[in-house]
Amino acid sequence: MKDRREYIITKAMELYALNGYNNVSITDLQIALDMGRGTLYYYFKSQDELFQVCMERYFMRPKQQALQQPDTILIPDMIRAMLGYLDSLQDALQTFENKNINTTNVVNLMFTAYNLFPLLSRKAKRLYTAEIELWKKAIRNSIRAGQVRSGVNIDLLALMFTHVKDGYDSGQNGETMDFNIFPQQYNYLYELIQPLPVNQ
C-alpha cells in the first residue's frame, strides 16, 4: 500500500515537472501510472491534493529538515545543511525516468504551486523567513567565534546567503541546474567576510 502511494507521488511529480501542473490531467496520470481512476482516488482525494503532497515531499519537507539546526550553528555548518538540501533535490530529480526535466521546469512548477495554493505559499514564506533567521544566527555565532569580521551587516549577509540558491538563470529554457556552482558561491561569500590576515 505504501509503496504504491510512493510510486504515484514519484510518477506524478515527474509529469508535473515535465509538463506543468495545468497540463496534466487525471487521464494523463492514469495512463502514466497504468492505474484506474478509482485506485488513484483511493490514495488521493483529488489531483489538487496529489500535487500539494508532491510539492511537500520534494521541496518543503527537505528544506524544513535542513533548517532543524542547533542554536550554536556556525556558517560552515549552515553551508553544509543547505548543500545537503540541494543534494536531496538533485537526487530526487535524478530518479525520474525522463531526463528532459530542467531548471526551468522546476522553477515554473514552484511558481505555479505558490500562485494556485495559498497554503503552499504560506509554508514557503515561513521556510524562507526561517532560513534567513538561521543564517543571521550562524553569522552572529561565527562573529563571536572569531570566524567572521565584526561590523559586517548581518541582515544583508543573511539575505545574500539565502539567495545563493537562486544564483542560476532560470530563464534559459532547456538549461539544467549546475549544482556544482553552489558550494563555490557559499564558500566564496564566506571567505569574503572572514577576518583579514594580520601582517607579521
Give 150-199 pLDDT, tens digit per residue: 999 999 999 999 999 875 544 445 555 667 788 999 999 999 999 977 66
Mean pLDDT confidence for 39-43: 93
Give the alpha-carbon dihedral of 79, 194, 72, 134, to 10 degrees.
-50
Give 51-63 pLDDT, tens digit per residue: 999 999 998 999 9
Residue type, 47: Q
pLDDT at 132 (0 to 100): 97
* Confidence check: pLDDT of 145 > 90: yes
Distance CA 147, CA 127 (A): 26
Give 106-120 pLDDT, tens digit per residue: 888 888 999 999 999
- Give 92 or 171, the one with higher predicted confidence: 92
pLDDT at 115 (0 to 100): 93
- Give 1 or 150, the one with higher predicted confidence: 150
Nine cell digits for residue 97: 525516468
Distance CA 189, CA 4 (A): 44
* Confidence check: pLDDT of 12 > 90: yes
Exposed e or buried b for every residue in 16-32, given b needs 16+ CB within 10 A? bbbbebeebeeeebeee
pLDDT at 170 (0 to 100): 46
